[in-house]
Amino acid sequence: MSSAIVTRSLTKQYGSLVALNAFDITVPQGSIFGLLGPNGAGKTTLIRILTTLMRQDSGEALVEGFDTRTKGREIRRLIGVVPQENSLDRYLTARENLELHARLHGMPAQRYRQRIDELLTLMGLAERQNDFPDTYSGGMLRRLVVARALLHEPKLLFLDEPTTGLDPQSRRAVWDYVRSVAGSMTIILTTHYLEEAEQLCDRIAIIDHGRLIALGSPQELKARLTGGAVYEIEFGRDGEQFATALRNLACIGTLQVEGRTVVVELERWECLSEVIAALNGAEVRRITLRDRTLEEIFISLTGEGLR
Amino acid sequence: MMTFQGTVAIWRRDMLVLRRSILPELVAVVAYPLTIYLAFGIGMKEYIGQVEGVPYSLFIAPGLITMTAVNAAFSESVWSLWFHRRVQFTIESYRVTPITASEIVIAKILSGFTHGLVKGLAVALVIFAITPFRFTPAHLLSYLVFLVPGSALFSCAGIICGTLMDKPETIGRVEAVFIMPLMFMSGLFFPLSSYPAAILPVIRLLPTTALFEGARLALVYGRFTAVYAALLYVTAAVLFTLAVGIFRRRMSE
C-alpha cells in the first residue's frame, strides 16, 4: 500500500521549545490514522506543517508524494481540513460559505452547485442552507465545517479534534460519517477523546514532547501495555480474606483489593484455572475480564501530570 | 503561478457583505463628514469667508470627501483583516485552499479600496446635493487621479496594521495617533500657507499632503500637480509591496 504521508526527521522549534523532534511517521493511503498526545505534544504543529500552514525547521514531509516546502499549492488541492475552530464566515449563509470555498478551489459553478446540494442533504443541513452560521447549534456548525472540507472531494482529510464540545448524538453523527467515507480517502484525526480514537482509527500514533512514543492499532497498543490479563473477582464478603490465598500463586502479577472485589493481573490467561482452584469453596459472585482502555495506555506513556 | 482566482473569490465575498450592509453603513459613513461640513463649512461660513480665493465650504469639500474615502479604505482593511485573522479564523480557512497568501492580501487591499471609493462617492453626492458647487468632468477626473491611489495607499496601510497588530486597542491607537493627525496636518481644514516656512517643506513631503492638497487643487482649481501625484503613486506602490510582503511573512511564521 502506498503512503499518503511520510515524514522524515521532521523538526520544528519555537524559540527554545522543541515542538517536533526528528519526527518520523508513515501513514498508509486509505487509513484512518489517529494522532494522540497531551496538550503541547506537537500534534497541531504536525498538522499545520502537513497542511502547509507552517514550515518545518528541518526534515522532510511528503503529502501524497508532494514536498510541503515546495509543493504547497498541489498539496492544498488534495486536502480537506476540519480545524479546531469552526472558522466559518458569520456574514455568509451556510450555502455561501460552501460556495466561497468551492471558488477558492477553482471549482466550476455547475459542479459545485450540485456537490453543495449533495453535501447539505447528507449533513442534514439542506433546510437551513440559507441561514447564517450564528443561528446554528454546535453540532450543525461542525457538520457544516465537515461539509466544507469535503466539498472538493479531497484525497486526504485532516480532522483536528472534530467532535470537541459536541453532544453525544452529534458526536455519533460525525463518527458515522467518518466511518462511511473511510477507505475512499485517508483520514488524519487528532482527538482528546480516546474512545473516539479507539472507535475510529486503524492505527494510532501517540506523541509526546514532539516525539513518536508509540504506534500501532488500538489492539496492538493495548496488548503492549497489558502484558497479562486483568480480572476482577467479586466476592460475597470482604475480598481481603481471599486475597491471601491468591497472593501465594506464582502466576499472579499484581493484586489489588477494592472492598469485596479483588483485581488480579495474571501473567498469562492459562493461570485463570489455578486462580479458580485456589478459590475453591469461596463465595465468588462474579469474575470479569477487565479490558485495558486506550486511556490507560495513554496515561502510562505520557504521565499523569497536567500540561 | 498566481491565477487571482482566490483574489476574485474573496473580493466577491467582501462585496456581497458590503451590498448587504450598504444602507445602514452609508448612513453612518455620511453622518460624520456631513456633520463636520455643516458645522465648519456652513456654520462658520460667515466668520471664515474666503480661503485661497474660494468660499470655505468649497475649500473643505474635497478634503472631506477624500477623508471619508481613505478612512473607509483604512478601516475596512485593518478591521476586516484583523477580524478574519484573529476572531473568525477565516484567513486560515482560505490558506488551506490552493490559493497563495498574495492572492488573499491583494483581495483584501482591493476590498478596502472599493469600500473607500463607494463611501467617498456617497459623501460626494450628498455634498454636491446640498451645495451649489458644480465641477467640470475634467476636474472630477483629475480629482480621481488622486483619490484612487489615496484609497489604495490607506487600504495598504490598513492591511499592514491588520497583519501586524493582534490587539484591537492597538489599532485604535494607530488611528488616533497617526491616521487622523496625518490627515488634519495635511491641510484638510486650513491652507498649507498657514504653516511656518521652516516646517512647510516637511509637510509637503507627506503623502497625505500630496493626497489632500493635490485632490483639492485638482477638484477646486482644475490644477493637476504632477509632483503630488507621483509622490502618491510611488508611496502607494511601496506600501502595496510592503503590505503583500509583510502579510506573506506573517502567514509563513
A244: pLDDT confidence band, cut at 50, 70 and 90?
confident
User: Taking residues A104-123, what's their average pLDDT?
Assistant: 95
Sign of CA dihedral A41, A45, A51, A55: negative
What's the pLDDT score for residue A106?
96
Question: What is the pLDDT averaged over residues A52-66?
Answer: 95
Most confident of A226-240, A253-267, B208-222: B208-222
Strand partners, A264: A231, A255
Residue A291 is given by DSSP the state P
CA neighbours closer than 13 Å in the CB half-sphere of residue A231: 22
- Residue A6 confidence (pLDDT) above 60: yes
What does the pLDDT read at residue B151? 95
The answer to whether A138 and A98 have CB atoms below 8 angstroms apart is no
What average pLDDT does this structure show over A159-172? 84
**Residue B194 DSSP class:** G
B97: burial class by Cβ within 10 Å (0-12, 13-18, 19+)?
A: buried
DSSP-derived 3-state class of residue A144: helix
Identify the CA nearest to A150 among candidates A138, A159, A161.
A159
Q: Which residues on chain A are in Cβ contact (under 8 Å) with B97?
A: 76, 101, 104-105
The predicted structure's pLDDT at residue B12: 97
Mean pLDDT of B16-39: 89
pLDDT confidence of residue B1:
63
Closest CB to A103: pick one of B9, B89, B252.
B9
Q: Of residues B62 and A166, which shows the higher confidence score?
A: B62
Could you give the percent of chain A with pLDDT greater than 90?
Answer: 52
Mutation target vs A (from B15, B85, B96; most A CBs, 10 A cutoff): B96
Task: Give the residue from B221, B79, B75, B65 showing the smallest Cα distance to B148.
Answer: B65
Kindly report the nearest CA distance between residue A156 and chain B, in angstroms. Answer: 12
Q: Name which of A62, A114, A37, A14 is nearest A298 in CA terms.
A: A37
Q: How confident is the model at residue B187 (pLDDT cuts 50, 70, 90)?
A: confident
Return the minimum-mean-pLDDT range out of A89-98, A220-229, B53-62. A220-229
DSSP string, B46-98: HHH-EETTEEHHHHHHHHHHHHHHHHHHHHHHHHHHHIIIIIS-HHHHHHTSS
Write the single-letter amino acid at A173: A
pTM to 2 decimals? Answer: 0.84
The pLDDT mean for chain B works out to 92
Q: What is the pLDDT of residue A162?
A: 87
Cell of A30: 486509505
The CA distance from A40 to A111, in Å, is: 40
Over range A80-92, report the average pLDDT: 94
- Please give the pLDDT value at position A221: 81
pLDDT band per the 50, 70, 90 thresholds, residue A74? very high
Name the minimum distance, in Å, from the CA of B108 to any CA of chain A.
14
Q: What is the pLDDT of residue A227?
A: 59
The cell for A129 is 442552507
Of the pLDDT bands very low, low, confident and very high (cuts 50, 70, 90), residue A10 is very high
How many angstroms separate the CA of residue B73 from the nearest CA in chain A? 19
Q: Which residue of A has its CA nearest to B90?
A: A87
Write down the pLDDT at residue A279. 85
Range A102-126 average pLDDT? 95
* Range among A252-266, B127-141, B232-246 with highest mean pLDDT value: B232-246
Question: CB of B241 within 8 A of CB of B159?
Answer: no
What pLDDT does residue A281 have? 79
CA distance A297 to chain B (A): 33
Residues of A whose CB is below 8 A from B90: 87-89
Which ipTM value was assigned to this complex? 0.89
Angle formed by the axes of helices B137-164 and B226-252, nearest 10°? 30
Map residue A78 onto helix, strand or coil: helix
User: Per the CB < 8 Å rule, is A100 touching B13?
Assistant: yes
Chain B CB contacts of A96 under 8 Å are 13, 16
- A101-131 burial string, b = 16+ CB within 10 Å, else e? bbbbbbbeeeebeebbeebbeebebeebbee
Write out the DSSP string of B101-154.
Answer: HHHHHHHHHHHHHHHHHHHHHHHHHHHHHHS-----HHHHHHHHHHHHHHHHHH
Q: Which of A195, A162, A194 is nearest to A178 (CA)?
A: A162
Binning pLDDT at 50, 70 and 90, where does residue A118 land? Answer: very high
Distances (CA, A) of A128 to A117, A138, B149: 12, 14, 42
pLDDT at A304: 60
Q: Which of A63, A103, A152, A157 to mutate to test the interface with B (most CBs of B within 10 A)?
A: A103
Average pLDDT, chain A: 89
Decide if pLDDT at A307 tops 60.
no
The whole-angstrom distance between B92's CA and the closest CA on chain A is: 8
**Phi-psi region at A10: left, alpha or beta (left = phi > 0; alpha = psi -120 to 50):** beta
Nearest to A92 among B13, B94, B99 (CB): B13
Distance in angstroms between the alpha carbons of the first and the last residue of chain B: 22
Q: What does the pLDDT look like over B122-169, one tens digit per residue?
A: 999 998 888 888 889 999 999 999 999 999 999 999 999 999 999 999
Q: State whether B252 and A90 contact (CB < 8 Å).
A: no
CB B153 within 8 A of CB B235: yes
Task: Return the pLDDT at B167.
Answer: 93
Task: Determine the Cα–Cα distance for residues B33 and B122; give it in Å rounded to an integer.
Answer: 11
Q: For residue B172, what pLDDT is reported?
A: 92
